């Protein structure tokens, strides 16, 4: 028996005493982080915001097994926020849609989440009407039944069966009315409940997990009373993905007491807030690097590649990769690299190997 099969199933129960200390720590960390960020200059805050949102979009998709291009995601976010960054790359229609949904959730956090707005999010996630190779119903609630299944063909395991399609419209109307109504629950607790409630209904053919996390982010923005995101819940969920699914599955089969889910969600959020320190330190290191080299003349290719190295370059940097990324010849790439070596910004890696690799100083 699933929780939604119980009468008035959405009148969840939980043990508030078990949440008090954890919720207190989370609220303290939220305030501390916003205070730290408010002490930074505008440029550093924008850089931290861009880094956090990029991570959030990437990791929310990765939880579902979809790997997006980091540079395209970063560029798409920067354009939509009006941030001036050097060497922006073109982004795909699909990535732009994912970014639009995430930004709409957090930048317009104070606005009601209506059915029309929610359907717009779904349309943005699937602009061509397909999920991978499969055509799906887009910008409308599902008309068919829904199961969450894993395992090879013939050995499938059913983790969850969602409410019947004929129930979705009514269930979603109840959910959306609750989401934007006044509540006695703490806004952070409400974020956790909203996440659980939405994935329980599973109203769409696909994209339910990503939209559930966007709704939770919107509610967390309401709890912060800020549209500026400096921590990524999705990045932390990805690290704890197995536990995330295990707790969700256990609660779906439970009696309606969602204390285990709330405890896990709050603890995960606490770890996400603590992890935001790494993003802050990365932003500060980047600022310090460019402060050291503020008078160093560079061309756009060099500036773009250095930013990629600072932000996290995948693999080893070689002259051929430089040329491919910047769309220049190998000779031009080598001149760019040698110029940066002469200026004390790059050096050859000492690890050796068949090709010469370079690293940032």
Q: Where are the domains of the chain?
A: 3-285, 294-360
φ, ψ (nearest 5 deg) of residue 49: -60, -45
Can you give the pLDDT at residue 262?
98
Can you give the pLDDT at residue 257?
96
- Gap between the Cα atoms of 89 and 80, Å rounded: 13
* Nearest in space to 185 (alpha carbons), one of 212, 154, 147, 222: 222
C-alpha to C-alpha distances, 28 to 53, 114, 121, 248, nearest whole angstrom: 22, 31, 32, 26
Can you give the pLDDT at residue 288?
84
Contact call for residues 43 and 85 (beta carbons, < 8 A)? no
Question: pLDDT tens, position by position, for the chain (361 residues)?
Answer: 899 999 999 999 999 999 999 999 999 999 999 988 888 888 888 888 998 999 999 999 999 999 999 889 999 999 999 986 655 788 999 999 999 999 999 999 999 999 999 999 999 999 999 998 999 999 999 999 998 887 777 777 888 999 999 999 999 999 999 999 998 999 999 999 999 999 999 999 999 999 999 999 999 999 999 999 899 999 999 999 999 999 999 999 999 999 999 999 999 999 999 998 877 788 888 888 888 898 999 999 999 899 888 877 778 899 999 999 899 999 999 999 999 999 999 999 876 566 789 999 8
Q: Under the phi-then-psi rule, with left for phi > 0, alpha for psi from -120 to 50, and beta for the rest, what region is 150? A: beta
The CATH number assigned to the domain with range 294-360 reads 1.10.10.10
Q: Which residues pair with 147 in a beta bridge?
A: 161
Can you give the pLDDT at residue 245?
94
Contact call for residues 228 and 46 (beta carbons, < 8 A)? no
Q: How far is CA 336 from the centre of its chain?
A: 34
Can you give the pLDDT at residue 290?
85
Can you give the pLDDT at residue 213?
97
Q: Which fold has domain 3-285?
A: Fic-like fold (1.10.3290)
Contact call for residues 301 and 325 (beta carbons, < 8 A)? no
Residue in the structure block whose two tokens are 């540079």: 71
CA dihedral 301, 306, 311, 314 (to 10 degrees): 80
Q: What predicted TM-score, i.e. pTM, was given to this entire model?
A: 0.84
């Amino acid at each position: 028996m699933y929780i939604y099969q119980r009468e008035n199933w959405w009148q969840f129960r939980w043990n508030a005493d078990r949440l008090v200390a954890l919720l207190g720590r989370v609220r303290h960390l939220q305030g501390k982080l916003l205070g730290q960020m408010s002490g930074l200059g505008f440029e550093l805050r924008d850089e931290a915001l861009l880094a956090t949102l990029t991570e959030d979009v990437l990791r929310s998709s990765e939880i579902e097994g979809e790997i997006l291009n980091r540079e395209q995601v970063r560029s798409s976010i920067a354009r939509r926020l009006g941030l001036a960054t050097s060497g922006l790359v073109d982004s795909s229609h699909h990535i732009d849609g994912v970014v639009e949904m995430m930004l709409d959730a957090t930048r317009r956090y104070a606005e009601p989440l209506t059915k029309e707005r929610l359907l717009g999010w779904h349309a943005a996630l699937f602009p061509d009407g397909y999920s991978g190779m499969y055509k799906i119903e887009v910008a409308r609630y599902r008309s068919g039944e829904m199961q969450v299944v894993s395992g090879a063909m013939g050995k499938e395991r059913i983790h969850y069966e969602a409410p019947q399609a004929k129930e979705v419209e009514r269930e979603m109307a109840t959910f959306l009315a609750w989401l934007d109504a006044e509540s006695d629950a703490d806004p952070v607790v409400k974020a956790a409940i909203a996440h659980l409630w939405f994935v329980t209904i599973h109203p769409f053919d696909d994209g339910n997990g990503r939209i559930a996390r966007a709704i939770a982010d919107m509610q967390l923005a309401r709890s912060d009373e800020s549209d500026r995101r400096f921590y990524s819940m999705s990045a932390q969920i990805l690290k704890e993905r197995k536990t995330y699914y295990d707790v969700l599955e256990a609660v779906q089969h439970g009696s309606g007491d969602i204390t285990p889910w709330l405890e896990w969600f709050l603890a995960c959020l606490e770890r996400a807030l603590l992890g935001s320190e790494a993003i802050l330190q990365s932003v500060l290191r980047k600022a310090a690097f460019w402060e050291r080299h503020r008078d160093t003349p560079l061309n756009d290719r060099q500036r773009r590649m250095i930013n990629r190295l600072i932000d996290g370059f995948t693999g080893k940097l070689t002259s051929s990769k430089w040329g491919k990324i910047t769309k220049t010849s190998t000779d031009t790439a080598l001149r760019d690299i040698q110029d940066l070596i002469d200026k004390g910004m790059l050096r050859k890696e000492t690890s050796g190997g068949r090709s010469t690799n370079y690293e940032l100083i």
